[in-house]
Amino acid sequence: MLRRLHSLPGLAAALFVILMSVTGAVLSLDPLIAQIGTPPSDAAITTGDLAADVVRNLPGVERITRSASGAITAYAETDTGDVAGYAIDPATGTVIGEATASPVMEFFKQLHRSMFLGTGGRALAGIAAAAMVILALSGVYLLVRRLGGWRKVFAPAQGTLSQRLHVEGARIAVAGLLLSAMTGFYMALVTFGLVPDGSDTWLAFPDTVDGGQPAAIDSLTALQSVPLSQMRELVFPFAGDTEDVFTLITANGQGFVDQATGQWLVFEPNSLAQSFYQAIYTLHTGQGMAWLGLVLGLLALVTPLLAVTGTLIWYRRQRATPRIKANTPPARADMVILVGSEGNSTWGFAAELHARLTATGIKVHTASMNAVRQHYPNARLMFALTSTYGDGAAPHSANRFLARLADMEKSPVPAFCVLGFGDQSFPRYCAFAEAIDQALAQKGSVRFQPLGRIDRQSAQAFADWGRQLGDRLRLPLTLDHVPPRPRSRRLVLAERLDYGHEVQAPTTVLRFASSRGRLPRAMPGDLLAILPPGSVVPRYYSVASSSRREGVIEICVRKQRGGLCSEFLHALEPGETVEAFVKPNPAFRPAKGKKPIILVGAGAGIAPLMGFVRGNPVGRAAHLYWGGRDPQSDFLYRDELAQSLEEGRLTRLGAAFSRVVGGGYVQDELRRDADRLRRLIADGAQILVCGGRDMGEGVRAAFDEVLEPLALSTSALRAEGRYLEDVY
Amino acid sequence: MLSPTVKTLGAALIGTTALVAPALAQAREVTLNVQMEQYRGPAAYFAIYLTDPAGNYASTLWLAGTKSKYQRHLRGWARAISSAGGRVDGISGASVGSGRQLSVSLNISDALIDAGYTIHVDTAVEDHRDARDAIVAPLSSAIAGQPQTGNGHMRALTVNM
């Protein structure tokens, strides 16, 4: 609920809030500019002294004002009968020049106040300020809750780059933004007369005026009693009208002064509302407090960052959390389903479980694992449905779950049940689900049902698990979920190049074009998901080409014995088609910049590395280490690599072949070249590894040996984003 | 732009002003046509009011601009209504911008016309001058249809009766 309160006004008001903040930041310079442009004044000077000086220098003067920055402006009649403002030196009362408002500042002031939309624009500005107040307060609450209490509020931010920037930016700016927004909202309320600013009090013209000969201005005691620093505005009597009076507004109030006797005819001190309004005005504009203006202005510039990162976070969360029908709020739920998912497929299973439990009358709350709460007051049972990412790691929507659980004193619910999703061909099948199962048990929660495992999204296994669960719950539970087939495109095989037949490692380079319409966008390192006929589960292959640059999507496929998809692809003839879609893989791409890259692969794992070489600008060092079996048979891309070396896209090629006399594996080549690698890594090189799982482990071990003298390790480099792996 | 609400307010004026004739039958419909000057700046505040033959405040015909903190810049009018101990009666409307026109209809007792009463106009614009008696003209049938000019932000006031 509170998150909604944070995101809905945020999205609606994002553009307005950005506009208000940027214009406000520009205007924040105004007090400083005014202060710099204003000559210093003598503390001993009184309003009467200055008025007398101004009258001498500017005989037609009608009105003198003093701004919060100390700038004095006198208004006097011009030859054309109009009135012009003149800047006055407060020390001498002499005219410095015409008082001109900066057209730039005037433009921004109008934009900030009303967006040139009149009253409606002023209302919008007020609404934007209110939205900002709500955002700041709800944001602080969310931040405190997320970091686990007020004491941890300055703990390092975690999550995606957007999330970290959002949290860091908010921590720096929230106090200032809250001040600007609350004062701005108050001023909007004043503009619309919804709260009083005390300006409605009508100062009645005095009943009796002396009416005698006007005295010399510097002899008027009331004007002498007000130091210039206290003056706001002095209005002169109409010339020749002895019945008229001086109107004097000071920092403390306003009144009329008799031009003959020099006495106050009436003086009304500021009401509480007026004093309050002035204080708020100073806080909002920084007028007279230039440093405050600058601080608030700088902090306001954080708003666009918050708006953009906030929108990104919201958008990603919307996309990542499929809609669950009849989702009960956590406080009222009987059962809780938490989902750990990387690519969203686990959500489909969770939605089915949610729907079937709800149909039996149970109130169910479903959320991502990262959204786990400390306590669900009514919940008896918690489900954790989670996949495993990579080598036993948490999937995206569960990557903070274990840390949050560790911070809790006890398990949020008395009983739990974990269901893992994965692919049995991976060595660490369902490893993260196992870790969750252990962690919940350690927190004292009762294991309601032993850990279940679903291999390759098997609808049958899910239904079986549901039957067991139903028996235990004494509920008829029929879970029927067939994962939807991803939206795929039809691609046509344009060309194929075969290698490795002679060394029992048939590997083929396949180039696909679009059979109709535009080719889906793919970059080297992305994954091409191919759906073999009759299967709903796609197989992923690393892309070697840029669909834009080369106009084809190129992959490299090693034929696996009994492999459904690889055999299908190896039998494919040019002109035949496949169902496929592209899965972007931005986590496996060379970093931007000029630092060297070290590419390591074996066999068909060369595909993305070849793509990186093709896109590598001449001048950026790129070292490729690759392992094959026999240079006569499976030397993939041999000619193109030679050409890349010649062109300078590739700096050096270290190829190792295991089936030749004196040959070896790619990790042997790495050890042999340790000195060069250490130099490159000391220069900030990034390492990208692609190949089979065994090779991945061997390469990691080799690099750890190479790195030891540098007091570095692959895990240290991985944490910096300098050791990337795409292993399968 | 003749506003029908203005007419009813004019009728109210008759009820509140001591100097009007007892019966509506003896009142005349008077139209005040205002043409503002061209100037750079926000909309102008102005007051159109009457003084009696002795120069004392009689009544306000129209007040443009609703915020009292700016109304005090209409200094002749503000002083006049202060001395009369009065507050603004309901005959007011929005401030009027540069170059705009305004037309106000109201009923004025026949007894006030050609009887030595004077029409005064004070104008004020933020950061411009406060013009007291920007326009002064007798409330007489002789000025009917004749644009009256002055030195404030109002270019001309034409009284039709």
Q: What is the pLDDT of residues B71-96, one digit of tens each?
A: 888 989 988 888 776 666 657 888 99
Q: Does A81 touch chain B (CB under 8 A)?
A: yes
Please say if the pLDDT value at position B12 is more than 60: no
Instruction: Give residue limits of the domains in chain B.
Output: 4-160
Backbone angles phi, psi at A622, to 5 degrees: -135, 120
Question: Using the beta-carbon criterion (under 8 Å), do A81 and B67 form an inter-chain contact?
Answer: no
Which structure tokens are listed for A720?
């910096």
**Residue-level pLDDT at A146:** 67
CATH of range A597-727; options 1.10.443.10, 3.20.20.70, 3.40.50.720, 3.40.50.80: 3.40.50.80
A340: closest CA of chain B, how far (Å): 60
**Residue range B44-67: mean pLDDT, rounded:** 91
Closest residue of B to A86, CA-based?
B127
Least confident piece of the model among A105-119, A175-189, A473-487, A560-574:
A473-487
Residues A487, A507 contacting (CB under 8 angstroms): no
Closest residue of B to A76, CA-based?
B129
**Residue-level pLDDT at A482:** 80
Q: Does B127 touch chain A (CB under 8 A)?
A: yes
Kindly report, residue by residue over A369-378, the tens digit of the pLDDT: 988 999 999 9
How many whole angstroms separate alpha carbon A394 and alpha carbon A510? 33
Inter-chain Cβ pairs, chain A and chain B, closer than 8 A: 33
Nearest to A515 by CA among A576, A566, A573: A576
Q: Does domain A489-583 have CATH number 3.30.70.270?
A: no
Q: Does domain B4-160 have CATH number 2.60.40?
A: yes
B69: closest CA of chain A, how far (Å): 5
Quick one: pLDDT band at residue A576, thresholds 50, 70, 90?
A: very high
Please say if the pLDDT value at position B3 is more than 60: no
B43: closest CA of chain A, how far (Å): 12
Kindly report, residue by residue over A111-164, the tens digit of the pLDDT: 999 888 888 899 999 999 999 999 999 999 888 876 767 877 777 776 678 888
Q: Does A137 touch chain B (CB under 8 A)?
A: no
CATH superfamily placement of domain A322-473: Flavodoxin domain (3.40.50.360)
Closest residue of A to B68, CA-based?
A200
Question: Using the beta-carbon criterion (under 8 Å), do B129 and A85 form an inter-chain contact?
Answer: no
**Higher-scoring residue by pLDDT: A597, A1:** A597
Which structure tokens are listed for A333?
């739920």
Residues A495, A508 contacting (CB under 8 angstroms): no
Kindly report, residue by residue over B30-50, the tens digit of the pLDDT: 999 999 999 888 899 999 999
Residues A55, A76 contacting (CB under 8 angstroms): no
Cβ-proximal residues to B111 (8 Å cutoff; 6+ apart), any chain = B19, B20, B21, B26
Quick one: pLDDT band at residue A413, thresholds 50, 70, 90?
A: very high
Question: Using the beta-carbon criterion (under 8 Å), do A62 and B127 form an inter-chain contact?
Answer: no
**Higher-scoring residue by pLDDT: A517, A723:** A723
Cβ-proximal residues to B45 (8 Å cutoff; 6+ apart), any chain = B64, B65, B70, B71, B73, B74, B95, B123, B124, B125
Place of tokens 């006890």: A410
- Indicate the DSSP class of residue A302: H
Residues B153, B44 contacting (CB under 8 angstroms): yes
- β-bridge pairing A507-514 and A489-499: antiparallel
Which 132-151 residues of chain B touch chain A by CB within 8 A? 132, 151
- β-bridge pairing B118-124 and B130-138: antiparallel
ipTM score over 0.90, yes or no: no
Least confident piece of the model among A126-130, A540-544, B128-132:
B128-132
Strand order in the sheet with A415-422: A364-368, A335-340, A381-387, A415-422, A446-455
Residues B113, B28 contacting (CB under 8 angstroms): yes
Q: Which of A77, A85, A200 sits opposite B68 (nearest CB)?
A: A200
Question: Using the beta-carbon criterion (under 8 Å), do A204 and B75 form an inter-chain contact?
Answer: no
**Residue-level pLDDT at A486:** 65
Closest residue of A to B86, CA-based?
A204
Which structure tokens are listed for B105?
């209809």
Pick from A61, A67, A83, A277 the residue to mutate for testing the B interface (most B CBs within 10 Å): A83
| Amino acid of residue B22 | P
Report CA-CA distances (Å) from A519 to A249, A514, A553.
74, 5, 8
B87: closest CA of chain A, how far (Å): 9
**Higher-scoring residue by pLDDT: B16, A59:** A59
Strand order in the sheet with A652-657: A652-657, A622-628, A597-602, A686-691, A723-727
**Long-range interactions of A92-97: CB distance < 8 A, separation 24+:** A92/A53, A93/A49, A93/A50, A93/A52, A93/A53, A93/A54, A93/A56, A93/A57, A94/A53, A94/A57, A95/A57, A95/A58, A96/A39
A217: closest CA of chain B, how far (Å): 21
Strand order in the sheet with A527-531: A539-542, A527-531, A577-583, A489-499, A507-514, A553-558
Q: Which of A63, A199, A205 sits opposite B78 (nearest CB)?
A: A205
Task: Report percent pLDDT > 90 for chain A.
Answer: 55
Provide Rg for chain A, Cα atoms.
37
Question: Using the beta-carbon criterion (under 8 Å), do B72 and A202 form an inter-chain contact?
Answer: yes
Q: Which of B68, B127, B130 sits opposite A202 (nearest CB)?
A: B68
Instruction: Give residue limits of the domains in chain A.
Output: 2-18+106-197+293-313, 31-101, 322-473, 489-583, 597-727
Kindly report, residue by residue over A686-695, the tens digit of the pLDDT: 999 999 888 9
Closest residue of A to B77, CA-based?
A205
Q: Which of A81, A199, A238 sits opposite B69 (nearest CB)?
A: A199
Which structure tokens are listed for A255?
């009144």
> Hey, do A322-473 and A597-727 end up sharing a CATH topology, with the first three levels equal?
yes
**Cα A312–Cα A313–Cα A318 angle in degrees, nearest 5:** 95
Question: Using the beta-carbon criterion (under 8 Å), do B68 and A81 form an inter-chain contact?
Answer: no
Question: Using the beta-carbon criterion (under 8 Å), do B130 and A81 form an inter-chain contact?
Answer: no
Question: Using the beta-carbon criterion (under 8 Å), do B130 and A203 form an inter-chain contact?
Answer: no
Kindly report, residue by residue over A301-346, the tens digit of the pLDDT: 999 999 999 888 888 777 656 678 889 999 999 999 999 987 678 9
Please say if the pLDDT value at position A23 is more than 90: yes
Q: Does B78 touch chain A (CB under 8 A)?
A: yes
| Amino acid of residue A279 | A
Residues B150, B121 contacting (CB under 8 angstroms): yes
Please say if the pLDDT value at position B29 is more than 50: yes
B73: closest CA of chain A, how far (Å): 10
Of these ranges, A82-86, A269-273, A450-454, the one predicted with the greatest mean pLDDT is A450-454
Query: Where do the DSSP E strands lie in A204-349?
Result: 231-235, 245-250, 253-258, 264-269, 335-340
Residues of B in contact with A79 (CB under 8 A): none
What DSSP line would sit under A113-166, residue for residue?
Answer: HHTT-HHHHHHHHHHHHHHHHHHHHHHHHHHHHHHTSGGGTTSPP-SSHHHHHH
Closest residue of A to B128, CA-based?
A83
Question: Using the beta-carbon criterion (under 8 Å), do A202 and B128 form an inter-chain contact?
Answer: no
Residues A252, A33 contacting (CB under 8 angstroms): no
Question: Using the beta-carbon criterion (under 8 Å), do A199 and B83 form an inter-chain contact?
Answer: no
The four Cα atoms B2, B7, B10, B15 give a dihedral, to 10 degrees, of: 180
Nearest to A50 by CA among A95, A7, A90, A106: A90
User: Residues in chain B, how many?
Assistant: 161
**Higher-scoring residue by pLDDT: A550, A43:** A550
Quick one: pLDDT band at residue B19, thresholds 50, 70, 90?
A: very low
Residues A635, A703 contacting (CB under 8 angstroms): no
Strand order in the sheet with A253-258: A95-98, A83-88, A72-77, A61-66, A231-235, A245-250, A253-258, A264-269
B32: closest CA of chain A, how far (Å): 25
The interaxial angle of helices A345-359 and A459-473, nearest 10 deg, is 30
Which 160-179 residues of chain A touch chain B by CB within 8 A? none
**Residue-level pLDDT at A570:** 93
Q: Does B4 touch chain A (CB under 8 A)?
A: no
Nearest to A435 by CA among A472, A399, A409, A464: A399
Three-state helix/strand/coil letters over B48-103 = EEEECCCCCEEEEEEEECCCHHHHCCCHHHHHHHHHCCCCCCCCEECCECCCCEEE
Nearest to A355 by CA among A340, A366, A369, A370: A366
Please say if the pLDDT value at position A395 is more than 70: yes
**Residue range A257-263: mean pLDDT, rounded:** 94
Residues of B in contact with A254 (CB under 8 A): none
Question: Using the beta-carbon criterion (under 8 Å), do A75 and B129 form an inter-chain contact?
Answer: yes
How many whole angstroms separate alpha carbon A533 and alpha carbon A531? 6
Question: Using the beta-carbon criterion (under 8 Å), do A205 and B82 form an inter-chain contact?
Answer: yes
A254: closest CA of chain B, how far (Å): 12
Question: Using the beta-carbon criterion (under 8 Å), do A63 and B130 form an inter-chain contact?
Answer: yes
Report CA-CA distances (Å) from A320 to A388, A393, B51, B62.
16, 18, 76, 63
Residues B36, B153 contacting (CB under 8 angstroms): yes
**Residue-level pLDDT at A485:** 66
Three-state helix/strand/coil letters over A255-294 = EEEECCCCCEEEEEECCHHHHHHHHHHHHHHCCCCHHHHH
